[in-house]
């Protein structure tokens, strides 16, 4: 019995460490990103995963129309939004 615990114990400890150091923080980050993408509203200043900076002009179910600097409007998937740099109410948001 002790031999079995000595064999399985380090594997269990390694799994627990991986969970708390790698898996759990990634799940928290992903949840925060999904929440940010769901909370988008017209007028938010955003950055896409491709590096495009602009303002949210319109929001559909899964799409976002982004107004760029020269006045052009581009349509992106909601999942392509990496961060909101300034909300429509003018609050600066902290970068995570």
- CA 7 to each of CA 14, 18, 92: distance values in angstroms, whole numbers, following the listed order: 12, 18, 52
Q: Which domain holds residue 41?
A: 2-86
3-state secondary structure of 56: strand
Answer with the residue of higher pLDDT: 17 or 89.
17
Residue 7 tokens read as: 């064999």
Q: Does the predicted TM-score (pTM) go above 0.85?
A: no
CATH of the domain at 12: 2.30.30
Counting the structural domains of the chain, the total is 1
pLDDT digits (tens, 9 = 90+) for 23-44: 999 999 999 999 999 999 999 9
Q: Is residue 54 part of a domain?
A: yes
Residue 8 tokens read as: 């399985």
Q: Is residue 96 part of a domain?
A: no
3-state secondary structure of 68: coil
Q: Is residue 41 part of a domain?
A: yes
Q: Is residue 91 part of a domain?
A: no
């Amino acid at each position: 019995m002790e031999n079995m615990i000595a064999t399985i114990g380090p594997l269990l400890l390694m799994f627990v460490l991986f969970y708390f150091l790698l898996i759990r923080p990634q799940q928290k980050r992903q949840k925060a990103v999904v929440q940010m993408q769901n909370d988008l509203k017209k007028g938010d200043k955003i950055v896409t995963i491709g590096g495009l900076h602009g303002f949210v002009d319109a929001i559909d179910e899964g799409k976002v129309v982004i107004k760029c600097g020269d006045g052009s409007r581009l349509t992106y998937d909601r999942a392509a939004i990496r961060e909101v740099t300034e909300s429509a109410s003018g609050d600066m948001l902290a970068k995570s």
